[in-house]
Structure 1
Amino acid sequence: MNSLTKDAQKAAERVGLLSDKIVINGGKPLKGRVDVRGAKNLATKAMVAALLADSPSHLLDVPDISDVGVVTGMLGAYGVSVTKVGEGELLLDPTNVLKAQFHEIDALAGSSRIPILFCGPLLHRLGEALIPDLGGCRIGDRPIDFHMDALRAFGAIVDKSYEGIRLTAPNGLKGANIELPYPSVGATEQVLLTAVLAEGVTELKNAAIEPEIMDLIAILQKMGAIINVEPNRVIFIEGVEKLEGYTHRALFDRNEAASWASAALATKGDIFVAGAKQQELMTFLNIFRKVGGKFDIHEDGIRFYHPGTPLKPVVVETDVHPGFMTDWQQPLIVALTQAEGRSVVHETVYENRFGFTDALIEMGADIVVHKDGLESVTRRVPRRPLEQAAVIVGPTALHGADVEIPDLRGGFSHLIAALTADGTSTVSNIGLISRGYEHFIDKLADLGADFSFED
């Protein structure tokens, strides 16, 4: 058994999945309603932010996913009480923060990369932070250099050992002038969570400005932080002496909403995604429409459906917000296998995010991955040294196969492919999907999917 399978099983256990495998009888349109709760990429960071406060915080619309379980366990190891006070509601009380044993942190972290964001808050609260080797989805190089360089700029001392990384701040943390080499979401979150209690003013250039970042800033402002978002990706943070707890409803999960939209398109289905909002999905909605998909905007969600006419090929370039999210391209590629003509997806954020296409090719898709990317006179996103491109020619009939899930978004894409394909597919490592998709098995059942579990 490899470590990926172990991680999948741990994730499955956290959310109550009974099996590591699912058997899907495909070829049936998905129809019905799914409810999308708070974003994985916000809720977990909001939980970490609670560590900065002197009083309890109340977080609403928290998704029941395994990454939330990871953060809950880590906070508990540091003495933060995390109590479920209602459906999707957590009360986080940091008043008894204490040092945790390294072996506890290492065991709890599992495959998540969330622990790196504990650094700043722990340095403020305890004067040190111990971070294990980081896991996460295997989609390419996700260096922590941006994080460590930023923390050093604040005055942290970083020591690497066989256990992982130990950080200390003997002279406290001071405001800094930081310019990120790339508008990394994680590094931007790191700076925000560190700067709010650092002495003096921090200027962050080339910051990420994703909606989840803006929601985290809103939370920190509720806590007492002073943060100004300037034009051209510049953020100023004035350090304050203390922060109070917050009450906040998490932004909806854009990635889950887009994934169900692509599932509707690929399976010729009709799915109402309750909780989805137009503003945060505008870039995705444009591409969805260009492919030939239909959507109706409602006050309480968005209906995504296949119109019954042939889908059209598109050219997509992933980019940081407000561009087309890298997390959106994988589910969309499954739908593009059913479009008439040649589609191209330029992946500019991660250099190894097309590994999931191997399974699609085995299922009958016509996809060629260009490891060095493709030149194009119509490109709008600047080329990056590690980018790749996928050329998808369709429509192709997909057939059932045995598939092993490699990562979170690729895994959900494999589910979509199995649901689209004629015949039976066995999909293993499904626990990884529970890292970011709440109750996805129940939702598949509600949408009429034909599946069963395999021991």
Structure 2
Amino acid sequence: MDKIKIVGGARLNGVIPVSGAKNAALPLMIASLLSEETLTLDNMPRLRDVQQLTHILSNHGVDYSVNGKRPGQDALTGQTVHLTAGSIVDTTAPYELVSKMRASFWVIGPLLARMRQARVSLPGGCAIGTRPVDFFIEALKDLGADIDIESGYVVAAARNGLVGGRIRFPKVSVGATHVVLMAASLARGETVIENAACEPEVVDVANCLIGMGAKIEGAGTPTIHIQGVEGLHGHRHSVIPDRIETGTYAMAVAMTGGDVMLEGARADLLESALDTLRQTGTEITETNSGLRVRRNGSGISPVDITTAPFPGFPTDLQAQFMALMTKAEGASRITETIFENRFMHVQELARLGAKISLDGQVATVEGVKTLTGAPVMATDLRASVSLVIAGLVADGETTVNRVYHLDRGFERLEEKLTRCGASIERVSG
């Protein structure tokens, strides 16, 4: 199993191209099930999750090609993929595929809308707390589906097709919002989603669906209106830049010092996180090329954060920010409100010398002068990259094990960091 070895101490200087957003790319791929015609997606990241979803969609009969089956010229720039669901041959998403990636459960929406039936395994994914599918199931019932749970599968049917309805989520859910957007696009009549997720990835998916012929208003606000249409057509769409990758590299620069241009990054996608970083003493400037991030060697100021749905501080950047705060000049408090089990990185950061105490969903981080390299274990996607950030400044060598988590969400991370002067390498075996 691959490992990543880091020798800390190098400042980061250079250019890092920001990849397409994983959290938009996956639902966009799933949206291809809604049309017989080809959906072309530009700026797609090269990630393990994208590869895994390709296998799942192929199981349903989706034809898939990358740049006409020719590799891209630059491995650090986005690729173009073409997805054609001309004929859906299977409406079952089996356990052995869905269990490897939670987002694959979302195929239930377009399968039910287009084929009027779906049999989808209950999902797997990162072990960062319970993320129930109740919201998905109740919402699809509100659209007229009959749903049963049988032997670990959600079995859904809408023999006369889905019908529009009013859906109010008891809690903001990005995944459930994606599913209803897709399903309601082909439902008869109007659907209204209340307490919808406002994340940029939801807006990106809605914009793609509109390009395919869907009638959607209000994406990016808590209330979305969808007027169902009889069918959707092909479209070409470019995936938005990954705001989590942007924030991660910005925090790495804040941690190490240096001057890095995050090429293609957009500030409007993560204003809360950027404002927080500025409070730590990091300079962030918008340019025509992206975001320039600098810290000139001054100390890191401690800042308290509370994770929240967009436009608040993203839960997907909480672990990375905690790593940054381990070197702050004072104490900070980090409150996690989205997932109840997203502090698994705390014990691994402690192995590097971090001083962190937990009280329920609140972590208090006492900044230390020195972190020391050690072997650590990645527990989930975002936790794994927090260990990399800490390793970039730790004295000596840090070895991050189980880096397959990283490959699920960060495209060629070690290569991008190496280009900016980091001493980091992947070791096979």
What is the CA-CA distance between 1:32 and the residue it aligns to? 2.0
What is the CA-CA distance between 1:443 and the residue it aligns to? 1.3
1:249 maps to 2:238: yes
Amino acid at match of 1:97: I
1:420 counterpart SS class: coil
Which residues of structure 1 form unaligned runs of 5+?
1-18, 372-387
- The total of aligned residue pairs comes to 419
Which residue is equivalent to 1:349? 338
Supply the distance in 2 between the matched residues of 1:293 and 1:36 (Cα, whole angstroms): 19
What is the CA-CA distance between 1:432 and the residue it aligns to? 0.9
Which residue is equivalent to 1:415? 388
Find 1:450's aligned residue among 402, 416, 423: 423
What is the CA-CA distance between 1:339 and the residue it aligns to? 1.1
Q: 1:231 to 1:47 in 2, by over 3 A?
A: closer
Matches within 5 A, 1:43-442: 43-85=25-67, 87=72, 88-99=79-90, 105-229=94-218, 233-371=222-360, 388-442=361-415
Which residue is equivalent to 1:11? none
Supply the distance in 2 between the matched residues of 1:451 and 1:215 (Cα, whole angstroms): 33
Supply the distance in 1 between the matched residues of 2:174 and 2:310 (Cα, whole angstroms): 10
What is the CA-CA distance between 1:230 and the residue it aligns to? 7.7
Contact 1:276/1:302 (<8 A) preserved: yes
Q: Over residues 188-245 of structure 1, what are the superposed CA-to-partner deviations in whole Å (9 max), with x where a residue is unaligned?
A: 1111011010111111110011111111111111111111118961111111111111
Amino acid at match of 1:365: A
Contact 1:183/1:208 (<8 A) preserved: yes
Range with bigger deviation, 200-209 or 86-95: 86-95
Supply the distance in 2 between the matched residues of 1:213 and 1:348 (Cα, whole angstroms): 20
RMSD: 1.6
What is the CA-CA distance between 1:106 and the residue it aligns to? 2.9
Supply the distance in 2 between the matched residues of 1:246 and 1:355 (Cα, whole angstroms): 41
Which residues of structure 2 form unaligned runs of 5+?
73-78
Contact 2:61/2:87 (<8 A) preserved: yes
Q: 1:231 to 1:313 in 2, by over 3 A?
A: closer
Contact 2:197/2:221 (<8 A) preserved: no
Amino acid at match of 1:151: L
Q: 1:426 to 1:262 in 2, by over 3 A?
A: same
1:61 counterpart SS class: strand
Identity %: 37
Amino acid at match of 1:22: I
Supply the distance in 2 between the matched residues of 1:153 and 1:263 (Cα, whole angstroms): 44
Supply the distance in 1 between the matched residues of 2:378 and 2:81 (Cα, whole angstroms): 30
Q: 1:250 to 1:305 in 2, by over 3 A?
A: same
Contact 1:192/1:237 (<8 A) preserved: yes
Amino acid at match of 1:99: D
Amino acid at match of 1:36: V
